[in-house]
Structure 1
Amino acid sequence: MELVKTSFPAGLLHPRLAPMRLYTLSKRHFVLVFVVFFICFGLTVFIGIAGPNAIESTVQPSKSDGSKVRWTFNSSSPSLSTYNQQLWLTCIIQLRAVEGAEMKIDVPMTVQIWGVVEDASVSYVNNQIYKPIRKSICKEKCAEIIVAHLGYLNYTQYHVMVVFHNKNSSIKNVDFKN
């Protein structure tokens, strides 16, 4: 075996080692690479469009007591898995007829959230009742209001009860979206 002296730090190289060559694609291989790429890209887009929705939402109306002073909303989330990352509850308030005037309203509410475990036992989330006051700008319909947002889901299902305290009786209807 013959060793060749070089200027590399190792000092010696084996004669069967060839220097690295850069390979180029022929026209046929070049076209084939692009065709395979676009087929994979098109398949990914098709699965994204035809596949299941990433965001699941339902719209539910609320119920009012006879005086139109309290609006109550009770809801249960669908069964959640590890793929569900967040839970949002929003609402859109419709006001009684106001002649094109834009108004700002304060919306006092009480929000109670219970988490349901696999054995069907129920417990408060964070052991508290939330009493936020949201502000909204309204004409006939108000801007969407975020009622509750759970960023990390510890339970497989949630029960939510929201009570609006309509002091000025201007609310005509409340639709919830979760």
Structure 2
Amino acid sequence: MSKPPTDTSGLGYSYHLPSGGLLLRLKNSLSQFSDLFSEFNRYIAPAYHHDRCERSVHMRLYSMQKREFVMVFLGFLICFGLAIVIGLTGPPITSTSEITAKSILANTTLAKSKTVLATGPFAMKSPLMTTYSQQLWLIAKLVTDNNDDEKYDKSFHVSVAIDGITEQHKPLSILRADSVRNRTRHLSCVRNDCEEFTILHLGFLEYAHYIITVRFYGLESFHQKYNIRSITFYFKTYSPEFTQIEIWFRFIFLLFTFIVICWYAHTLRKYPIYDWSIEQKWMSILLPLLLLYDNPFFPLIS
């Protein structure tokens, strides 16, 4: 009969390294993740099957009846439909006025020049601008005599000089002649119709009228080949009627948002923030952000 192996340490114990390797590590990691989620789960707003003890402040959402849900959604749909109807029947967003290059050059010495449509200069006066106009775009559209079924793209430069008309009816240089800005534009045409391109954009209107002088560079060869028949300039601004409606809408939503914030703070004032649910905490952040989104200073900058 063989003898059992003797214990060399003399303590009567033997130690074995744990087995399992990567699988055991993965199991331990999942166990730690489960414990972490369990700690986080206690802060989540309760569901119908959750225990109400050790939970957050009771939310009205979880005790609403079907009739109340229907009324809430019905109110939302009515407000949404009312906004669509006002948008469809209300004034247009932008207001556009146009002027042709031939009418600009009619009383000038350049009217008889054959290349004036390809070069300019085109000095034009903008329509009356008010604070409700907000912004100004100047857009140009070319029409040629080309009748071939082809598409072509021409790169050229545009220079712009701007003068503002003061209350004393005197021009004040905004963009001086010695610092004229040059911008590269692309003229894309199909047959005799060319796409519109933006010449300038003013994001803030300080004067009631502007005198804008436009010059083209690099269209001479294009004019010789396709013959520019006409150029139409469009002055586009926000419609004053639309701006007034926008101001009223912002004011109404600003007032309602402020009322909801006051009501929300009054409702939760007796509960410590620690007991608020995640939805309630986020709502306390989103409501002030919504107040800023309505932009209380919009009437001052429009």
C-alpha distance in structure 2 between counterparts of 1:41 and 1:152, whole Å: 32
The structure richer in helix per residue is: 2
- 1:121 correspondence with 2:170: yes
Q: Structure 1 residues 75 and 126, CA, compared in 2 at 3 Å: closer, same or farther?
A: closer
- Deviation by residue 1:84-139 (Cα, 9 ceiling, x = unmatched): 33211111111122422333335455433222234433212233444545332323
Paired amino acid for 1:167: E
When the two structures are superposed, what TM-score results if normalisation uses the length of structure 1? 0.71
* TM-fit CA distance, 1:173: 0.8
2:194 to 137, 142, 150: 142
- The equivalent of 1:158 in structure 2 is 210
* TM-fit CA distance, 1:48: 1.4
When the two structures are superposed, what TM-score results if normalisation uses the length of structure 2? 0.45
- The equivalent of 2:80 in structure 1 is 41
- Deviation by residue 1:50-79 (Cα, 9 ceiling, x = unmatched): 112222222332215123321335231332
Q: Percent identity?
A: 28
Paired amino acid for 2:199: V
C-alpha distance in structure 2 between counterparts of 1:86 and 1:22, whole Å: 46
C-alpha distance in structure 1 between counterparts of 2:211 and 2:171, whole Å: 9
Corresponding residue pairs, total = 159
- The equivalent of 2:295 in structure 1 is none
Bigger radius of gyration? 2
Contact 1:104 / 1:137 at 8 angstroms: preserved in 2?
yes
* TM-fit CA distance, 1:20: 5.3
Paired amino acid for 1:142: C
State the Cα RMSD in Å: 2.8
Contact 1:70 / 1:164 at 8 angstroms: preserved in 2?
no
- The equivalent of 2:138 in structure 1 is 89
C-alpha distance in structure 1 between counterparts of 2:85 and 2:216, whole Å: 43
SS in 2 for 1:29: helix
C-alpha distance in structure 1 between counterparts of 2:99 and 2:204, whole Å: 23
Q: Structure 1 residues 142 and 148, CA, compared in 2 at 3 Å: closer, same or farther?
A: same
Contact 2:129 / 2:207 at 8 angstroms: preserved in 1?
no
Alignment of 1:41-120 (within 5 A): 41-63=80-102, 64=105, 65-71=111-117, 72=122, 74-81=124-131, 83-107=132-156, 109-120=158-169
- The equivalent of 2:234 in structure 1 is 177
Return 5+ residue gaps in structure 1 as ranges: 1-18
The structure richer in strand per residue is: 1
C-alpha distance in structure 2 between counterparts of 1:113 and 1:91, whole Å: 16
Return 5+ residue gaps in structure 2 as ranges: 1-55, 106-110, 236-302
